[in-house]
């Protein structure tokens, strides 16, 4: 397999399974060149804990993240002759303080990169389960004059892409995670001109600062016809010259490279034969101070790693 920039383990994420080292060993077994370790950043309020975290406190999540970074760096050194491991985080965008919290973590732990994702609207998860999605939908303000008053779905989608835009501006993540995950429970929602303007704005911004759009195979896992992003958005990204990478968004050993066979077909259908990925600048051999750069891989459809 080529690479993935987005993964989780049961050791450091309550809704994943398996030890982080097992995830790494599976990535090596499947011949990944680069594998990104990107556990969720901590959440700092009790009300932001997920149901499976009801036995924890926010301080526990901070300790867990610290443990993740320590273990990830250990594995990075242990397996450096077999695989390139990058150590990063996946962002949260919940409150006005979320940005500073993410940036502080990146600086504190000298992380290699960030996966910029949005999982909450109105401080409510939109991808955890359908019940929470519906709660977020019910909170979409019909009184907000910026949006279409009579359509709560349109409001929610508009708010999602506005929240994503704010995250992009504040964090400028090198990897943009599951660009249209808002579609998870509304896959047939038809984008209006309002939504497409926001999508295009966000795409343009990422292209301008040099970020990579993740083509995330987890879209297949949740029953969507395509990987994230769906092909209408992906075609627009390609038309505008956006640079794409791939990720498995693994949450366990069995999900390392899950649906990469479908991902290959998706790339082939859209004639995507060039991908980009993050890697260390080999000019610096000190792992603690290595700079992460974007690299290009051509002729990916013909590569034997599939």
User: How far is the C-alpha of 118 from the C-alpha of 93, rounded, in Å?
Assistant: 6
**Short-list 252, 182, 78, CA closest to 70:** 78
Q: What is the pLDDT of residue 143?
A: 45
* 46-67 tens-digit pLDDT: 999 988 898 999 999 999 999 9
User: How far is the C-alpha of 35 from the C-alpha of 146, rounded, in Å?
Assistant: 41
Q: What is the pLDDT of residue 284?
A: 61
Q: Where along the chain do its domains lie?
A: 3-302
User: For residue 86, what is the enclosing H or E element?
Assistant: strand 84-90
Give me the mean pLDDT over the 206-235 stretch.
Answer: 96
Among the ranges given (11-15, 106-110, 141-145, 239-243), the one the predictor scored with the smallest mean pLDDT = 141-145
Q: Which two tokens stand for residue 67?
A: 């443990």
Is 41 in contact with 102 (CB distance < 8 Å)? yes
Say what percent of the chain tops pLDDT 70: 94
CATH of region 3-302: 3.20.20.140
Among the ranges given (137-141, 198-202, 254-258), the one the predictor scored with the smallest mean pLDDT = 137-141
* 78-113 tens-digit pLDDT: 999 999 999 999 999 998 888 899 999 999 999 999
* 159-180 tens-digit pLDDT: 999 999 999 999 999 999 999 9
Residue 142: band (very low, low, confident or very high) from pLDDT cuts 50, 70, 90: low
Q: What is the pLDDT of residue 305?
A: 77
Residue 228: band (very low, low, confident or very high) from pLDDT cuts 50, 70, 90: very high
What does each C-alpha distance from 203 to 17, 41, 147, 166, 241 come to in angstroms?
33, 24, 20, 13, 10
Is 184 in contact with 231 (CB distance < 8 Å)? no
Read off the pTM: 0.93
Q: Which two tokens stand for residue 259?
A: 């649906």
User: For residue 185, what is the enclosing H or E element?
Assistant: none
Maximum Cα–Cα distance across the chain: 58
Residue 193 dihedral angles phi and psi, to the nearest 5°: -60, -35
Residue 151 dihedral angles phi and psi, to the nearest 5°: -130, 100
Q: Which two tokens stand for residue 256?
A: 């390392």
The answer, yes or no, to whether residue 149 has pLDDT greater than 70, is no
């Amino acid at each position: 397999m080529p690479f993935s920039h987005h993964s989780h383990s049961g050791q450091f994420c309550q809704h994943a399974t398996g030890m982080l080292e097992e995830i790494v060993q599976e990535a090596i077994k499947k011949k990944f060149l680069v594998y990104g370790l990107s556990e969720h950043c901590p959440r700092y309020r009790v009300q932001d804990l997920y149901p499976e975290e009801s036995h924890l406190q926010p301080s526990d999540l901070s300790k867990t993240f610290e443990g993740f970074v320590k273990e990830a760096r250990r594995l990075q050194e242990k397996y450096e002759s077999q695989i390139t491991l990058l150590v990063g985080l996946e962002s949260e965008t919940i409150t006005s303080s979320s940005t500073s919290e993410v940036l502080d973590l990146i600086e504190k732990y000298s992380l290699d990169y960030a996966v910029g994702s949005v999982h909450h609207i109105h401080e409510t998860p939109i991808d955890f389960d359908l019940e929470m999605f519906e709660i977020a939908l019910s909170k979409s303000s019909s009184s907000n004059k910026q949006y279409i008053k009579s359509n709560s779905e349109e409001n929610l989608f508009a708010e999602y892409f506005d929240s994503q835009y704010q995250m992009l501006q504040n964090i400028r993540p090198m990897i943009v995670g599951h660009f249209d995950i808002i579609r998870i429970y509304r896959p047939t929602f038809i984008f209006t001109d309002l939504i497409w303007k926001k999508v295009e704005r966000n795409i343009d911004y990422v292209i301008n600062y040099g970020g990579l759009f993740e083509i995330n195979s987890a879209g297949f896992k949740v029953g969507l016809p395509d990987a994230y992003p769906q092909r209408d958005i992906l075609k627009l990204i390609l038309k505008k010259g956006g640079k794409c990478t791939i990720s498995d968004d693994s949450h366990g050993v069995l999900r390392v490279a899950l649906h990469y066979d479908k991902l290959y077909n998706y790339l082939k259908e859209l004639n995507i034969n060039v991908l980009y990925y993050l890697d260390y600048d080999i000019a610096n051999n000190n792992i603690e101070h290595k700079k992460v750069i974007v690299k290009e891989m051509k002729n990916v459809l013909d590569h034997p790693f599939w």
